[in-house]
Amino acid sequence: MNITVYNTLTRAKESFVPLDPQRVTMYVCGPTVYNYAHIGNARPPVIFDLWRRVLQTRYDQVVYVSNITDVDDKINAAAAAQGVPISDITRRFTDIYIEDMAALGVQPPDVRPRATEHIPEIISMIKALIDSGHAYEAEQHVLFDVSAYPDYGQLSRRDRREMIAGARVEVAPYKRQPEDFVLWKPSSGDLPGWDSPWGYGRPGWHIECSAMAAKHLGEVIDIHGGGSDLVFPHHENELAQSCCVHQQDRFARYWLHNGFVQMESRKMSKSLGNVLTVHELLQQHPGEVLRYVLLSAHYHQPLDWSEAAVTQAHKTLDRLYAIARDHLQPVAAAASVPDAVLSALYDDLNTPKALAAFNQLCRDLAAAKDTAEKQGLSADIRAAGALLGLLQEAPEAWFGRQKQALDADAIDALIAARDAARQQRDFARADAIRAELDAMNVIIEDSADGTKWRVRQGTAES
């Protein structure tokens, strides 16, 4: 089975073939740590984490690098605004980011490089760009000379003249052309800085990713991922720098970009102020619910975030966990992921299709008659769940969490009273108690092995 990917560079779905069949390399742009990550920021980590897991089913070695950008003017501004040292900001939000992503089921990357730990690599890369005639120094800045790279604009399919015509390119007096971008800029006062051949300063926005990708993965990498707003200018500039420094015609062989999470059909972004942070969402919903929502649309497509979407995902997962609770068998050996799920994911990570197949497997399990069939489906479901990062909790823990907010002893007492009434065939009283529980958003289910209860989704909050 082939893995296909939609490559932004070629605007086509291509068969994925790694440069080195033994070692797949992927780099995903990580966060600039100055604030809480919102749910839109979480989409790339979740999507590319899944990409990595899918690639691992096929390739023995997948090296996944995702950085932390811990030097940036927004960080400086946040530190100044809060009156704390810059390192307080970066350390704090790096920790929060890592915790929040873990709660969404994102596995840590193999390498999580920090920009500030790669200043020597950045400086030597800039030096090489100057030496090769692709960059120039001007007023303590170093700028990339876009005119020295004829292929500039290939990723975003942008014509340089049109960009200038757009008239929104920052024009600084020290630039030779308006589209030239900063590799190094001067620092003073409290701003973070390092000594360099061009004076005390700090790196520009794009260079750190080029330097870290080269150091940890090599000059040409297989996959480079990120949100679609990074196509231009960030990835275009990374591509230009990296190709010029390494004298390669490719930097990443496959460029993958995810669409945005939207709020009421508008992009969720800090500047628009319509954000929902992962941190606050995790107070209200299990991480798997948020993960399910993020996987419910294809990663290229925009994903409209809403309470209704979260509720639906929660209900769906409740049903799957109930099936797991009642039917899922222990499995001795790890099975392979069933074809219906894997082939969907191999097809440019078609997560909605994979989830449909996963749901089908669970329904089949619930309907399965004999033990052999149940065991086979259980093995399939466990393997698929492990790949998708779903159904990873014990059902008791899953339902237990929802019950925490309620007084379990009181509910158990009511259920016992109802069972007693039913024994005496006093159904009026039994139904009255059930109505009382229902008013508490508690739904009960009578079964052969006693009465179970759970919390109704989607009505309690908001």
Contact yes or no for 388/352 (Cβ under 8 A): no
Span 334-363, contacts to RNA by CB under 7 A: 347, 350, 352-353, 355-356, 359-360, 363
Contact yes or no for 144/183 (Cβ under 8 A): yes
Nearest in space to 103 (alpha carbons), one of 295, 281, 315, 321: 281
Asked if 165 touches RNA (CB under 7 A), the answer is yes
Contact yes or no for 135/126 (Cβ under 8 A): yes
**Residue 131: CB minimum distance to RNA, A:** 26
Span 19-48, contacts to RNA by CB under 7 A: 29, 31-32, 38, 40-41, 43-44
Span 207-266, contacts to RNA by CB under 7 A: 226-234, 258-262, 265-266
Asked if 51 touches RNA (CB under 7 A), the answer is no
Binding pattern for the stretch 118-157 against RNA, x by CB under 7 A and - elsewhere: --------------------------------------xx
What is the rounded CA–CA span in Å between residue 351 and residue 12? 19
What is the rounded CA–CA span in Å between residue 204 and residue 185? 7
Contact yes or no for 28/45 (Cβ under 8 A): yes
**Residue 60: CB minimum distance to RNA, A:** 28
**Of the listed pieces 111-119, 126-134, 269-277, 396-404, which binds RNA according to CB under 7 A?**
269-277
Taking the least distance from each CB to RNA, the nearer of 128 and 406 is 406
What is the rounded CA–CA span in Å between residue 275 and residue 305? 10
- Structure tokens belonging to residue 293: 């929502």
Contact yes or no for 325/399 (Cβ under 8 A): yes
Taking the least distance from each CB to RNA, the nearer of 128 and 432 is 432
Asked if 98 touches RNA (CB under 7 A), the answer is no
**Of the listed pieces 126-134, 162-170, 379-387, 402-410, which binds RNA according to CB under 7 A?**
162-170
Taking the least distance from each CB to RNA, the nearer of 128 and 444 is 444
**Residue 22: CB minimum distance to RNA, A:** 29
Question: Is the peptide bond prior to 233 cis by the omega test (within 30 degrees of 0)?
Answer: yes
What is the rounded CA–CA span in Å between residue 175 and residue 192? 23
**Of the listed pieces 165-173, 241-249, 276-284, 376-384, which binds RNA according to CB under 7 A?**
165-173
Contact yes or no for 27/256 (Cβ under 8 A): no
What is the rounded CA–CA span in Å between residue 446 and residue 415? 10
**Residue 19: CB minimum distance to RNA, A:** 24
Q: Please, which residues have CB within 8 angstroms of residue 426's CB and are 6 or more apart in sequence?
A: none
Number of chain residues interacting with RNA (CB under 7 A): 81
